[in-house]
Structure 1
Amino acid sequence: MPAEGTRMAGLWEREVGRLRPKRFADSVRASEDFVNSLGIQKRLQEHRGCVNTISFNSTGSLLLSGSDDRTVVLWDWERAKPALQIHTGHENNVLHAQFMPLSDDRSIVTCGADGEVRYVQIEEGGRAVVDQVVETEYAVHRLAVEPGSPHTFYSAGQDGSVWRFDLRGKQSKELFKVGVIYDDGVNDALDLYAVAVDPRNPYRVAVSGSDEFVRLYDTRKYLHGDFGCPIEYFCPPGLITKNEDGITGLAFSQTGEILASYSCDNIYLFEREHGLHFNDFKVGVLPLFGDGVGAALPLYKDKLPEPQSFVGHHNKQTVKGVNFLGPNCDYVASGSDCGHVFIWRKKDGELMRAMKGDKRIVNCVEQHPSEIVVASSGIATDVKIWAPGDCDPSMIDFDEDDADTFMFSSMSDDDSDISDLMDDFIFAPPGSGSSDGDDDAEDTDDDDDDEGDEEEDEEGVTSDGDSGDEDDEGGGGAEDMNDDD
């Protein structure tokens, strides 16, 4: 019998019936072997613009993607074939798309840079009926589906508004607008980039945007007309009152921890004890700050506990998500401006891998609900499927994503200590020369600009992937964070 606690011991226990298959699979997905064994095995190619959103269905049999080409694709990812492509009717980039739970994968919600939230119903035979649920004047960046509900979801928009939707009667309600904390005399509402629902308590909704605070709300107060403040705020002590950062991605763990990806800083893991209200910090009350904003900050920096941070990636050029990996949220994963997928160990923040996943920028990283499979997407027009094993050489020989020098263009001198974890060989296998990196970095994804546009039924299905005129650079305009550069 193999030594107890080893991977071989787990295999032996599974083979003799002492370890159930699901428990064995979970133990593998939680192991460092899982992280170290990942390689690109498939590329899903159908979109004609940046892929801004990806998500698996509850069983993991389908992968949903949405793009700047204004379509969503349901993928049979194991065969690397689209099962269905749907024109959403959005007039601009699709920024987020989600399956609704318990809908037999026939109910999808989307939001876009045109300010619209749309509802897609897939009928027998593959016909898609698309309805507009709400239209606002500003981009709607993210949706959050209520766990276990086939009807209820939330949206967060660039005008600071948080909406709640109930598909049973196609009802929509603006719950509240998130205001700025430190008035600059220009804006009174916050640009929102992320929204997430606590899986343990669907009434607890977190939002974040163009300042340094994660806000946690109890939506029952708003549903009953009590328009109060957030029940909690989270922010690393060193960023309080700086008002020079934003948060592009949020994720809840199974135990209620909150991951927040800062646009000019690191990723942080917040637990209950990091809450500013929990620590008697009165957010936005100027007398706390003495003779000037931030004057009393050192006092609170000493008193407030520091959250776990995850360091090494860059998140300035686009709106990036953040996610947990592993059956027990054992790891943290994010894309980066340098085109890598970063994976850290959650318990201590150690960087485990930095895997080359895009010629330019990776924005999304999602894990399969039960298998050792991860999907990623970004500025390129395809979706990469990662699984254990060496990279398939045919997957490395990208078309528009050939080897270049961009992978280090966003790295600072302070990041030199992580370069050993960079998997350059995924895009540049040994013996392959680097082409002119400067020229490649300026390439666009609009390879189809000269193609004729075909008429499409906004409530129908497109079979050829042609979704009309493309935006420059393959899209990404509404998700661009370069205004502060």
Structure 2
Amino acid sequence: MSEKAKKGRLNFNGLHHPVVDFWRREVGGISSRNFSNRFSASENLVLRLEIYKKLEKHKGCVNTVSFNAEGDVLISGSDDRRVVLWDWQLGNVKLSFHSGHANNVFQAKFMPFSDDRTIVTCAADGMVRRASILEGDKVETSFLGLHQGRAHKLCIEPGNPHIFYTCGEDGLVQRFDLRTEAPTELFTCQSVDPRRRNMEAIQLNAIAIDPRNSNLFAVGGMDVYARLYDVRRFQGDGSNGFTRAADHFCPPHLIGNEEVGITGLAFSEQSELLVSYNDEFIYLFTPDMGLGSNPIPSSPISKSSVSKSESASSPKDENEHSVPLVYKGHKNSETVKGVNFFGPRSEYVVSGSDCGRIFIWRKKGGELIRVMEADRHVVNCIEPHPHIPVLASSGIESDIKVWTSKAAERATLPENIELRKRTPRGWMYRVSSPQELLAQLFSLQNRSSSSPEREGESSSATGRELLDLILTFNDQSDDATDDEDGNSHEDFFS
């Protein structure tokens, strides 16, 4: 029998069959580790994901979820400015404490090799903080650094208990070493256009480190380029040109487009870079798809020369080798959404959506295989378990959903996915003062009465949006007044 025929008998539709793999493991034809990886990557398990637990403790939107290295503890941060540690399998709170931030917590992560007792956070107040868990579960928090504007994301150097990076809306990227007193300001992200480099910095929303090479990290924000940097180029005296990225990544049809930006980044186990754009799609770049350190083309592509839908699928004037794979179906407009891989070898791509659902695609080929109801409003965060096929998700609702493969039947894709709409309640409706509340109320009323898209809709739809906006403001006002410890936070509106 030929090798091709043998392979065909061991696989169904090109995928490893779990029964065959189990038999091969028993007879020594496959190692336990490879069996575990294939089992965890099984599409059959992905199609059987359903909610295992709802974790309820926060009193505001949950903006970040992350597992510890062992995978037995989940950490979360919220608009209520609290950080919670969960025993997600039992659904119990292990520890809850105030982060010390004066505004919404955007990211919270365990530092590696710290026995889960060192946590770093960043938030809408621009602060970067450290929380140390002491004996008796007493928590001490301390100030580490500051961004001028919201600090959306941080990333930890793999396997390093001391080093992590942050980025913020001020365009600044900082490197923190917990053994030192002050962070290192690496650079402020500027436009790639030489004519605009002296203008305002690029607001950054995302930062990620390559797991196979911790010297490389990528940042993305309010322009079309994902920038790759090599920290080894940084000398500290400003003379080495570190402000220029080593490489840039952008879909060819988006070059020159000033209407979209990057909300999420993630590296795969193969050093591929996943980039999520607002009001656009998700793209997968291999390392050889970069545009180099100077990405300005000799003849820029006009964004009006081709339609978005055509060019995103198959740009016609570009070498096929340079065109990234695209993932479609979700909607990313209302909030700053993350994006991630799922599976032991990054076999799947996962993202939240404005419609309140989780979308899962095969990484290879980009086919959408799963859509799951996860939030009444918007899903922002999806975090995979480090070892087993488990997902944690969060969004505008105040709970966290943990997903495991326990469904009796395999799920199928719903019909008319793109037609599904939810009432937006994301950051576009986040208000900080009574004056801003009134301004948004007037804006919503004017939009509902003048927009032709809303003709024929019942007045109750607009009423629900108005009520949702008022309730959101009331929720924030309550959160600003008292936390669970009864502490006043008057500076919420500052």
Same topology, TM > 0.5: yes
Match of 1:95 among 62, 84, 106: 106
Query: Is 1:257 aligned to residue 267 of structure 2?
Result: no
Partner of residue 422, structure 1: none
Q: Is the alpha carbon distance of 1:440 and 1:359 closer, same or farther for their aligned partners in structure 2, counting shifts above 3 Å?
A: farther
What whole-Å deviation, never above 9, does each CA across 1:387-417 have from its counterpart, x for those lacking one? 01239xxxxxxxxxxxxxx952489xxxxxx
Query: Is the 1:93–1:112 contact (alpha carbons within 8 Å) kept by the matching residues of 2?
Result: yes
After TM superposition, give the deviation of residue 167 of structure 1 in Å: 0.3
Q: Give the drift of 1:188.
A: 2.5
**Structure 2 CA distance for aligned equivalents of residues 240 and 448 of structure 1:** 38
Helix, strand or coil for the counterpart of 2:152? strand
Q: CA 1:386–1:451 in 2, change beyond 3 Å: closer, same or farther?
A: closer
Question: Could you tell me which amino acid in structure 1 is paired with residue 299 of structure 2?
Answer: F
Distance in 2 of aligned mates of 1:311 and 1:79: 35
Pair 1:209–1:127, CA change in 2 (3 A): same
Unaligned runs of 5+ in 1: 392-405, 412-435, 457-463, 478-485
1:118 aligns with one of 126, 129, 134: 129
Separation of aligned partners in 1, 2:121 and 2:491:
19
Deviations 1:162-204 (A, max 9, x none): 0000001233011000102345699431000001111111111
Q: 1:197 corresponds to which letter in structure 2?
A: I
Look up the match of 1:358.
375
Question: Paired residue for 1:289, among 299, 304, 309?
Answer: 299
Instruction: Report the Cα distance in structure 2 between the residues aligned to 1:23 and 1:468, rounded to whole angstroms.
Output: 53
Counterpart of 1:173 (choices 184, 194, 197) is 184
Rate the CA distance shift 1:145–1:448 in 2: closer, same or farther, 3 A. closer
SS of 1:408's partner is coil
Q: Are the equivalent residues in 2 in contact too, given 1:193–1:208 (CA < 8 A)?
A: yes
1:188 matches 2:204: no
Three-state SS of the structure 1 residue aligned to 2:36 is helix
**SS of the residue aligned with 1:25?**
helix
Offset at residue 242 of structure 1 (A) = 1.5
Corresponding residue of 2:233? 221
* Cα shift readout 1:330-388 (whole Å, capped 9, x = no counterpart): 00000001111000000100001111110010000111111221100000001000001
Structure scoring higher RCO (CA < 8 A, sep ≥ 6) equals 1
Gaps in structure 2 of 5+ consecutive residues:
1-8, 12-16, 409-418, 425-459
| Structure 2 residue corresponding to 1:386, chosen from 397, 403, 419 | 403
Over 3 Å counting, the alpha-carbon distance change for 1:241 and 1:329 in structure 2 is: same
Instruction: Determine if contact 1:339/1:407 at 8 Å carries over to the other structure.
Output: no
Secondary structure of 1:302 counterpart: coil
CA distance in structure 1 between the aligned counterparts of 2:479 and 2:209, rounded to whole angstroms: 42
Distance in 1 between residues matched to 2:404 and 2:29, nearest whole Å? 26
- 2:234 match: secondary structure: helix
Aligned partner of residue 35 in structure 2, secondary structure: helix
Does 1:314 pair with 2:331?
yes
Q: Which residue of the other structure, out of 267, 281, 285, is the alignment partner of 2:282?
A: 267
Matched, 1:132 2:143: yes
Is the deviation greater in 368-377 or in 292-301? 292-301
Deviations 1:101-148 (A, max 9, x none): 111111111001101000111112111111100123211111010001
| Cα distance change on mapping 1:390 and 1:101 into 2, 3 Å | same
Q: Is contact 2:357-2:375 (8 Å) kept?
A: yes
Matched AA of 2:46: V
Which residue of the partner structure matches residue 360 of structure 2? 343
Q: How many residue pairs get matched?
A: 420
For 2:183 and 2:263, locate their aligned partners in 1 and report how far apart those are by CA, in whole Å.
Answer: 24
Alpha-carbon contact 2:174-2:186 (below 8 Å) kept? yes
- 8 Å contact from structure 1 (residues 156, 194) kept in 2: yes
Superposition map of 1:48-63 within 5 A: 48-63=59-74
Higher helix share: 2
Q: AA paired with 1:318?
A: T
What's the secondary structure of 1:312's corresponding residue?
Answer: coil
Partners of 2:33 and 2:49 lie apart in 1 by 20
Could you tell me which amino acid in structure 2 is paired with residue 231 of structure 1?
Answer: A
Aligned-pair distance for 1:284? 3.4
CA contact (8 A) 1:250 1:258 kept: yes
Instruction: Give yes or no for the alignment of 1:44 onto 2:55.
Output: yes
**Pairing 1:241–2:251 present:** no
Deviation at 1:8, TM superposition (A): 2.2
Task: State the one-letter code of the partner of 2:260.
Answer: D
Deviation string 1:210-254 (CA, Å, 9 cap, x unpaired) is: 000001111122244313411100000000011221000000111
TM-score (norm 2): 0.77
What is residue 208 of structure 1 aligned with on the other side?
A: 220
Contact conserved, 2:481 with 2:490, CA < 8 A, in 1?
A: no
Residue 408 (structure 1) aligns with: 421
Change in CA separation of 1:407 and 1:86 when aligned onto 2, cut-off 3 Å: farther
Contact 2:168 2:203 in 1 (8 A): yes
Gap change, CA 1:123 and 1:7, over 3 Å in 2: same
TM superposition shift of 1:322: 0.5
Aligned to 1:8, what secondary structure does the other structure show? helix
Q: 2:391 aligns with which of 374, 378, 382?
A: 374
Which whole-Å CA distance do the structure 2 matches of 1:467 and 1:336 have between them? 34
Shift of 1:41: 1.3
CA distance in 1, matches of 2:97, 2:74: 14
In the other structure, the counterpart of 1:75 is 86
**What RMSD in Å do the two structures reach over aligned CA positions?**
3.3
Closer, same or farther: CA 289–67 of 1 in aligned 2, 3 Å:
same
Secondary structure at the aligned position of 1:171 is classed as coil
CA apart distance, 1:33: 0.6
Alignment match, 1:27: 38
Residues 1:78 and 1:163: Cα distance change in structure 2 (over 3 Å): same
Contact 2:480 2:490 in 1 (8 A): no
2: distance between equivalents of 1:140 and 1:386? Answer: 28
What is the CA distance between 1:63 and its match in structure 2? 0.4
- Give the letter aligned to residue 350 of structure 2: A
CA drift of 1:11 comes to 3.7
Return closer, same or farther for 1:87/1:223 CA change in 2, 3 Å cut-off. Answer: farther
**Inter-partner Cα distance in structure 2 for 1:302 and 1:272:** 17
